[in-house]
Structure 1
Amino acid sequence: MSDQRKGDIRQGVPCIRSVRVNFCVGLTTGVVITSLLLGLSLIQRTSLKRPFYEAVHQQNDALGHWYQQYIDHLSNQQSGDLHADFDRNIKSHGEIDFKDEHVHHDDDKLARNLYDRVRILCWVMTAPQSLETKAIHVKKTWGKRCNKIIFFSSETNLTFPTIGLNISEGRDHLTAKTRGAFNYIYKHHFDEADWFIKCDDDTYVILENLRYFLSNEDTNTPIYFGHHFKTIVKQGYFSGGAGYVLSKEALRRLSLNHSVACRQDGGAEDAEIGACMQNLGVKAGNSTDSLGRSRFHCFDWETHLVGGYPDWYYKYDALGAKKGEKSMSDYAITFHYINPNKMYALEYLIYHLRPYGILSGMQDLNHKKI
């Protein structure tokens, strides 16, 4: 082999080595990049399969922490710990005062004005076994808007709190419980309110509408209002579940009378109180609006909206058991058979939900009936 050829071969060796090195480096780089891409893809797919709060937590610690707290809150709800953060404002004799400080709408001056002008004491009939399943949700929703709220039960509970009437539980004793509660209120709180509403622990009351309706009524007149039933009592009587509200004079007459004019216990509570009111000269007032629509309702809003009434209701209801939106006043006051879920639904729909661009109507406080 010539010297020139040997030189060319020696010069080509570094070139071959360079190509090999470049090839290896390129191959290695490609493998690494491919592995990284596959790894990232795998991580992404895996993170999508994780609970949402974990993925959020990796990207944003603060948001992830908030979401975990929310999950924990839901877990507490499922375990029945719905009132763990409730601030119990306990007063003497097992009574409790509330004032809703949350301004939900742009202008609530009229409602706040009526809060001071038309004072309403709410009393709720409950039972020891219903405190944590029903009554607590009244406290946390509409009960906050009463000027004063008192829960009556067969047993005193200073923690919740409730006033014990020392009367046995059961439908056969609802009349005695109702009379006992009104007597207690008359003795201890007569001057602290203008009107006194009785309702059950599955009743929902829109206090602003109740004050609005009562703002044109005289509390010194012997009168009471509620969902009107036309049977049994000549002037009719008001459904106990829908709630009924007494004037000061009506409460005075009911509480001071212990004669045979009023049954002390037994019978159907609302009918017995209705008969008592009639015997005492207390008028069953008309609470319908100017279009003849009801304000107090002895069923939930869905039943009054679409129907499905029990057969007895067609005989009892003084307004003819109407249904649909034209049967319920725009200023409805009460609904009955409202479970806790529906109470919170009403809280949202009434006090939070609003259509953008539509202002609430400004009511005339000197109205007759709207």
Structure 2
Amino acid sequence: MANVRLCIVLVSAMALVPIFYFTAFSFTITRTLLPITRKENLFQYAHFRESNSGYTSGSSIVHDPDFLARELAERVRVLCWVMTSPDNVETRVKYVVRTWARRCNKLVIISSKANDTYGIVAINVGEGRDQLTQKTLGGFHYVYKHHLDDADWFLKADDDTYVIVENLRYLLSNEDTHKPVYFGHHFNSIGTFDYSSGGSGFVVSKEALRRFGRAGNNSTVCRQNGSAGDEAFGQCMGNLGVELKNSTDRYGRTRFHCLKPSDYVFGNFPEWLFNYDANGVKKGMESISDYVISFHYVRGEQMDLLEYLIYHAKPYGLKNVLQDLNQH
């Protein structure tokens, strides 16, 4: 009988061994992951996952190169709303939908006329440059009313803006959407507050959108009509206590751009930009961030070209090494 009890004890102890090791392993992994999965340690987390994302099969190691982009897409939810007009549906919107905008968590296209083919929604506004303020504010009111809970950040772009959404999420991964902030191509004030170029696209936090939704109809707070919709929206944000934060990378290189790529590479700048650009106009590839976010005046098939060069063309034998470029 004593031998039976001894056997039972030994079997029970042996059964606890794998449980002990599993618990210890889980504790170790938890202690390793918890500190580095916080948003302020994204870069360390990326390297940890990169070094542990493969498995050995024979003599080869298989890696998942897109894991970080997918995880950011889940954690940094971006709604993109694109401002367009009926005349630009086939010449611009078609290309937006099939290229960069499909990487947004939610896409809303706003015009003065609905279009079922591309899911375009209509708001009560006219067309023309003198309607840009009504259209910009109206678009944000629509997003606030119908999609506030669908995302954490809300990007407004034109139908000729090209956006690298993964790099936008990387910028935002260090930021708190519950704070009243927004980002874009930083322009000097022509009123009271600095503002972002509309053509470069700009992205607002959930708190910024919430403040706008509650008070944006007040004409003493936000100008309700006229041209220069980006400037009007910037003054509105300033009056609502929303800060336009610096979007350059840690080396001072630009991420949002109000002109097309070649203008920045070759320095083909209009004179007015030297007065507006708050960070100083610089030309050359060395002045553009490796994690660039947007360019303006990219129309039609030019979007297909950028799509190919960014997401498909790859130099053989070169590895894409992650960089820590956010400002801290």
Aligned to 2:166: 208
Structure 1 Cα separation of the partners of residues 117 and 255 of structure 2: 34
RMSD: 1.5
Aligned to 2:264: 304
Q: 1:157 to 1:246 in 2, by over 3 A?
A: same
User: How far apart are residue 173 of structure 1 and its match?
Assistant: 0.8
On the 8 A contact 1:155/1:164 being kept in 2, the answer is yes
Structure 1 Cα separation of the partners of residues 170 and 190 of structure 2: 30
Q: TM-score, normalised by structure 2?
A: 0.78
Identify unmatched segments of 5+ residues in structure 2.
Answer: 1-62
User: How far apart are residue 131 of structure 1 and its match?
Assistant: 0.4
Structure 1 Cα separation of the partners of residues 101 and 305 of structure 2: 15
Matches within 5 A, 1:118-197: 118-197=76-155
Aligned to 1:357: 317
Structure 2 Cα separation of the partners of residues 200 and 347 of structure 1: 17
1:228 matched to 2:186: yes
Q: Secondary structure at the match of 2:286?
A: coil
Structure 1 Cα separation of the partners of residues 327 and 321 of structure 2: 15
Q: Secondary structure at the match of 1:330?
A: coil
On the 8 A contact 1:222/1:250 being kept in 2, the answer is yes
Q: Secondary structure at the match of 2:171?
A: helix
Q: Flag as ranges the 4+ runs of structure 1 deviating above 4 A.
A: none
Please point out which of 295, 318, 321 is paired with 1:335.
295
Structure 1 residue identity aligned to 2:246: N
Structure 2 Cα separation of the partners of residues 233 and 191 of structure 1: 32
Structure 1 Cα separation of the partners of residues 284 and 85 of structure 2: 33
Aligned to 1:346: 306
On the 8 A contact 1:179/1:255 being kept in 2, the answer is no
User: How far apart are residue 368 of structure 1 and its match?
Assistant: 4.3
Structure 2 residue identity aligned to 1:318: A
Structure 2 residue identity aligned to 1:131: V
> How many aligned positions are there?
264
Structure 2 residue identity aligned to 1:224: Y
Aligned to 1:318: 278
Structure 2 Cα separation of the partners of residues 319 and 311 of structure 1: 15
On the 8 A contact 1:233/1:274 being kept in 2, the answer is no
Structure 2 Cα separation of the partners of residues 284 and 251 of structure 1: 13
Q: Secondary structure at the match of 1:326?
A: helix
Q: 1:156 to 1:369 in 2, by over 3 A?
A: same
Structure 2 Cα separation of the partners of residues 159 and 354 of structure 1: 33
Q: Deviations over 1:195-238 (max 9, x none)?
A: 00001000000000000110000000100000011131444110
Q: Secondary structure at the match of 2:285?
A: coil
Aligned to 1:93: none
Q: Secondary structure at the match of 2:230?
A: helix
Q: 1:291 to 1:234 in 2, by over 3 A?
A: farther
User: How far apart are residue 161 of structure 1 and its match?
Assistant: 1.9
Q: Deviations over 1:64-104 (max 9, x none)?
A: xxxxxxxxxxxxxxxxxxxxxxxxxxxxxxxxxxxxxxxxx
User: How far apart are residue 248 of structure 1 and its match?
Assistant: 0.2
Bigger radius of gyration, 1 or 2? 1
Aligned to 1:66: none
Same amino acid, percent of matched pairs: 55
Aligned to 1:289: 249
Aligned to 1:218: 176
Structure 2 Cα separation of the partners of residues 362 and 310 of structure 1: 34
Structure 1 Cα separation of the partners of residues 123 and 193 of structure 2: 30
Identify unmatched segments of 5+ residues in structure 1.
Answer: 1-104
Structure 2 Cα separation of the partners of residues 368 and 143 of structure 1: 23
Structure 2 Cα separation of the partners of residues 108 and 153 of structure 1: 34
On the 8 A contact 2:83/2:110 being kept in 1, the answer is yes
Q: TM-score, normalised by structure 1?
A: 0.69
Aligned to 2:214: 256
Structure 2 residue identity aligned to 1:294: T
Structure 2 residue identity aligned to 1:213: L
Aligned to 2:29: none
